[in-house]
Structure 1
Amino acid sequence: MGAKFLNPDGMSKPTGYTHVVEVSGTGRTIYIAGQLGLRADGSLGEDFRTQAEQAFKNLETAMAAVGGGLEHIVKVTYFLVDIGYLPVMREIRNHHFTKGPLPASTAVAITALALPSAVFEVEAIAFIPS
């Protein structure tokens, strides 16, 4: 019961994510809306690193609100306004995702986010076993 993380033979070796996550059994599925680098006061970080760090902290806060942690996240989608930020995003992600295998993930380069000065957003799906 719970989440099973798989990297099947015959697929490339992933760097920083898991190819397949199977969820079974009873528990709660949690959907976390896209998180920008917004602080609690509504202000936005000045640069990519600051925004990404805050967005991951927001994920941690969201998971704590439902009695979970980042280790319960099974899928994340990253949105970057410049794909050149990917190495910095991976560094920050690795600082936060320290328990268990990394979730399945997708990184998408986009032209803009909901706030004009936002440069990073992350959304997540989590499963917390009963």
Structure 2
Amino acid sequence: MSNREAILPKAAERHALYEAHGYSAAIKSGDLLFVSGQVGSRLDGSPEPIFKKQVELAFENLKSVLAAAGCDFEDIVDVTTFHTDPENQFGEIMEVKEALFNTTPPSNWTAVGVNWLAGFDFEIKVIARVPSV
């Protein structure tokens, strides 16, 4: 039997979004944390229209989910990002990433170009190792 614990960020407004869409923000299994794709949504779930701010919000939402599990960016071991226009978006994404998530050595990272993200232009999902208490 697996040991799975749902993790939700502290912001109660975000809990309703996860419930409405039928998934957990993250699942903790043993010392691993599997974080669902985080997008740059406002508290009501709508996309932030300014791309760079959307990316910043996605990283802030990710930070909130990590914190709820006792993790931070240093604990991330695997990153997957999804982009609707990678060639034109990558510069702004890297600016935000380097300002908020600058670990050494850097985590591995897979970037995937997609044509649909439910109204969003960027999504980030990660796997992190939960620090021992």
- With the shorter chain as reference, the TM-score category is 0.7 to 0.9
Taking the aligned partners of 1:102 and 1:39, their CA distance within structure 2 comes to 28
Normalising by structure 2, we get a TM-score of 0.71
Q: Secondary structure at the match of 1:129?
A: coil
Residue 93 (structure 2) pairs with residue 89 (structure 1): yes
1:63: which partner in 2?
66
RMSD: 1.4
Residues 20-35 of structure 1: pairs in structure 2 closer than 5 A: 28-35=31-38
CA deviation map 1:17-44 (0-9, x unaligned):
xxxxxxxxxx610000001111223232
Residue 107 (structure 2) pairs with residue 107 (structure 1): no
- CA apart distance, 1:100: 3.4
TM superposition outliers: structure 1 runs of 4+ over 6 Å: none
Larger % of strand: which?
Answer: 1
CA deviation map 1:44-78 (0-9, x unaligned):
20121111110000110011000110110101111
* Runs of 5+ unmatched residues, structure 1: 1-26
Q: Secondary structure at the match of 2:42?
A: coil
- CA apart distance, 1:90: 0.9
Identity %: 37
- Are the aligned partners of 2:54 and 2:122 in contact in 1 as well (CA < 8 Å)? yes
Q: 1:122 aligns with which of 121, 124, 127?
A: 124
2:48: which partner in 1?
45
* Runs of 5+ unmatched residues, structure 2: 1-29
2:7: which partner in 1?
none
The letter of the residue matching 2:51 is: F
Q: Kindly tell me the number of residue pairs found equivalent between the two proteins.
A: 102
Taking the aligned partners of 1:75 and 1:60, their CA distance within structure 2 comes to 15
- Are the aligned partners of 2:78 and 2:108 in contact in 1 as well (CA < 8 Å)? yes
Return the structure number with greater relative CO, CA threshold 8 A, min gap 6.
Answer: 1
The letter of the residue matching 1:39 is: R
Q: Secondary structure at the match of 2:120?
A: coil
CA deviation map 1:90-116 (0-9, x unaligned):
111111113432210011111111x2x
1:72: which partner in 2?
75
